[in-house]
Structure 1
Amino acid sequence: MDVLSIDFGTSSTVGVLSAAGRAPRAVEVDGSVTLSSAVFAEEDGRLVVGRDAERRARLDPSRFEPHPKRRIDEGALRLGTTEVAIADAFAAILRRMGEEAERQLGRPPAQTRISHPAGWGASRQDVLRTAAAKAGFRDVRLIPEPVAAAAHYASLGGRHTGPIGVYDLGAGTFDCAVVGGTSRGFTVLAEDGLPDLGSLDIDEALLVHVGRAVSHTDPAQWQRLLRPQSTADRRTRRALLQDVRDAKESLSRHAQTHVPMPEPFGDVLVSRDELEALVRPSLLRSAELLGATIRRAGLTPARLAGVHLVGGPSRMPLLATLLARQLGVVPTIQDQPETAVAFGLHHVPPVVADDRTVPAFAPVRPPWPAARCGPPGRWPGR
């Protein structure tokens, strides 16, 4: 059966296509395996997504929304003079991925699997289902991101002698899970998440830090950057946010870097130590939550077969250090952590759309009692 798996992320969306019994492969859109989740509303109301949306945003930033997934609870977006339902914005992104998959297949995929944060309840999942229907998908299955990530890592080893921990830090949310498994299958033992932690929050913290260094030069102009009133202001703010994001990513590779600033402000030198000081409390909170999730599963970190990092922000050197100190386990990260969930969706059987048991090869009874916690290069996140 042809299956399209879509990791619908806050900043970027990744698709994986499996057809005619062949191994799954990432779907390239506009020459990249990551599709920007941004949307732009043309004057006639037509929605443009991905890189095309980002290019058009330079002309009129008021018609642009870079992270519609983060605004799911608002119901609608105001893009310029156009009001766009959240489901329609989601559908435009999903449709673009579906069109590319259909072009490669020569026919629509028979089934589509779409990821969502573990903390999304029924109402948010309904929005995603509505968007999938508007995108023209049939036989849609929704799967929590940590479940998909666990399926991916289980598929890599082929056999797990113990449970694994999943630490999933995306652009908009943090999810974690503990999954027990053997060569025959695995099950989610515990899961939890933080809705207010992601790479966008790290960007915001760095922007505030930069502002403290320069805002005294011209407080009024800095406020215009924070709350743009004109098209020129919005263009300047968008460029600044991109420069801040690039600086953050650079600090994963270098000890320091400059953030280019618009006039009348001078460029700001930031260091990795400064960034780590800003984000350490939040990352420590996430590490503590993973530790609590492990305990809720009735386990200790020493009994885990491994802790796997998912999502672009997991490239931060500080994160691996904090987790190792907190858990006593050195985490594992792939070369491309952004694609782990999308490939994992392929390995999750369709029966788990509304079930926390994941029979990777055949159903298996886990040796630990299931537990559940409370609700909810370049690293674009998800």
Structure 2
Amino acid sequence: MPYVLGVDIGDSFTSAAVCRRDGAGWGGAETVRLGARSPAAESLIELSPTGELLTGDGVRADTSGDPGRILRGFNRRVGDDVPMVVDGRSYRPQELLAALLRLVVDRLREQEGEACEQVVLACPAGWGAHRQGLLFEALRTIGLDGTVLVPGPVAAAEHHPGAHALAGYDLGGTTCTTFVVGRPARRPAELLACERHPVGGADLDDALVAHVRAAIGKAADQPESLDSGPGAVLLRRDCTQARERLAEAPEALVPLPWWAHAPGDLTGETRRELPVTRAAFEALIRPLLLGTVDGLVRLVEDTADVAGVLLIGGAARTPLVAELLAARLPGPILLDPDPRSTTARGAALLARRIAGGGRADGSAWPHETTAGLTPVAAGAWGRH
């Protein structure tokens, strides 16, 4: 069945979605599975001993893999003249980003039994023509020169059609991007303003890790360190899972190392659990989020009236985010059930438009709406 593909390669996770054509009509955007345990896969590339690039389920970063062979963070390094080096091999960041997209495209071709008709890749907000051009050249080299690049906020706004401006709050793994997208009638959406903040889901996890470590205290017979090694990895994983549970529940339990048991506890090595309430967690992270909310308020005041606020990114499900934004900005707070894949699904909808698809209700798109949907080589959406 013919299909088009939208991809969002974030700092921490990569998501993908497709729109399929059945006969003369196109379906809506559907998230596709890239990871072993969730639809999203970590934005990692591992260099195998034979020089093969692995990603998604092929990466063994959390088990037997050699951390020295793992490449990450290349998304935000595009435009940097310093190459990334692993095992004596040098790679330009844009080459790694293109390689990761190639791996996603190839995986979908295997799953679907045929190549996609169009690929749209969401790029970071604020990328100018220079960075877009570097990536496009890397894509051309590996046979993906038909890929269209669009700013992530523009792709995300595709879920909410209309001629009103939208504000957005994208809380990813390592950064928070606040933005305003304008949507003139019968024309492609336009990124009016954006700002990046050095706060992400990892920082929220850090705050919870510090809270748990303080609760554990300094055990005199502590046999392992929580600063590094397996104990630190497990604690951070458990805190991340607790943060995600607190998005739905008023309390979460964080498993503790066996040596953190209270004196006289005779349960052997069965780990005790530390309860953390949502209220306590929100008190920890409120100072981290306030600056990002202030940033979005400034953007809205300086650009346009907005019809609502889009919440994007896995960490955006944290209830305090919506609470802080609703108190400062007009219009509804818009959060769908899977904010981690919002941008990828929006990119798939844009790919559908380029391939000649209509609206979900079956009506045709106005001809003018596809005028700006061209490969980045033509300067689509580029801003310095």
TM-score normalised to structure 1 length: 0.75
**Structure 1 stretch displaced more, 3-12 or 103-112:** 103-112
Say whether residues 1:27 and 2:32 are aligned partners. yes
Contact kept, 8 Å, 1:3 with 1:111, in 2: the verdict is yes
State the 1:297 CA deviation. Answer: 1.1
Q: Does 1:176 align with 2:174?
A: no
Structure 1 stretches lacking a partner, 5+ long? 353-359, 365-374, 377-382
Q: Which amino acid aligns with 1:57?
A: D
Q: Name the structure where helix makes up a greater proportion of residues.
A: 1
CA contact (8 A) 2:123 2:149 kept: yes
Q: 1:372 matched to which residue of 2?
A: none
Q: Counterpart of 2:252?
A: 257
Distance 2:223 2:142 in 1: 42
Number of the residue aligned with 2:9: 8
Q: Secondary structure at the match of 1:216?
A: coil
How far apart are 1:76 and its partner, in Å? Answer: 5.0
Partner of 1:367: none
- Out of 21, 33, 51, which is 1:45 matched to? 51
1: CA distance, partners of 2:223 / 2:127: 39
Change in CA separation of 1:101 and 1:149 when aligned onto 2, cut-off 3 Å: same
What SS does the aligned partner of 1:278 have?
helix
Amino acid at match of 1:238: V
Tell whether 2:146 aligns with 1:146. no
Q: 1:36 aligns with which of 42, 59, 73?
A: 42
The reply to whether residue 211 of structure 1 matches residue 213 of structure 2 is: yes
After TM superposition, the structure 1 = structure 2 runs for residues 268-287 of structure 1, keeping only pairs within 5 Å, are 268-287=274-293
Aligned to 2:319: 317
Q: Work out the CA distance in 2 between the residues paired with 1:76 and 1:217.
A: 44
In 2 relative to 1, CA 2–251 (structure 1 residues): closer, same or farther, beyond 3 Å?
closer
> Structure 2 residue aligned with 1:100, among 86, 89, 107?
107
**8 Å Cα contact 1:38-1:64 kept in structure 2:** no
Worse-superposed segment, 82-91 or 188-197: 82-91
Q: Cα–Cα, structure 1 residues 335 and 205, in superposed 2: closer, same or farther, change >3 Å?
A: same
Q: Which moved more, 1:337-346 or 1:25-34?
A: 25-34
Structure 1 residues 241 and 65 mapped into 2: Cα distance closer, same or farther (>3 Å)? farther
Whether 1:288 aligns to 2:294 is: yes
TM-score (norm 2): 0.75
Q: 1:347 to 1:65 in 2, by over 3 A?
A: same
**SS where residue 294 of structure 1 aligns?**
helix
Q: What's the CA shift string for 1:122-148, capped at 9, x where partnerless?
A: 565456445534654231222111111
Q: Deviation per CA, 1:241-282, whole angstroms, max 9, x where unpaired?
A: 211211111111222223223454455432222221222123
Aligned equivalent of 1:58: 63
Considering only aligned residues, what root-mean-square deviation do their CA atoms show, in Å?
3.5
Give the superposition deviation at 1:165: 1.9
Q: 1:5, 1:189 → 2: CA distance?
A: 19
- Provide the secondary structure at the position in 1 that maps to 2:26: coil
Given that 2:242 and 2:253 are in contact with CA atoms closer than 8 Å, whether structure 1 keeps it comes out as yes
AA at the equivalent of 1:22: W
Amino-acid identity (%): 28
Question: How much does 1:195 deviate?
Answer: 4.0
How many aligned residue pairs are there?
341
What are the superposed Cα offsets for residues 305-326 of structure 1, whole Å, 9 maximum, x if unpaired?
Answer: 2222122212111111111111
What is the DSSP-based 3-state SS (H/G/I as helix, E as strand, rest coil) of the residue aligned with 2:149?
A: strand
Query: Matched residues in 1 for 2:88 and 2:256: separation?
Result: 31
Alignment gaps of 5+ in structure 2: 262-272, 355-364, 370-382
The alpha-carbon distance between structure 1 residues 71 and 220, as it changes in their structure 2 partners (threshold 3 A), is farther
How far does residue 331 in structure 1 lie from its aligned partner after superposition? 0.6
Q: Secondary structure at the match of 2:115?
A: coil
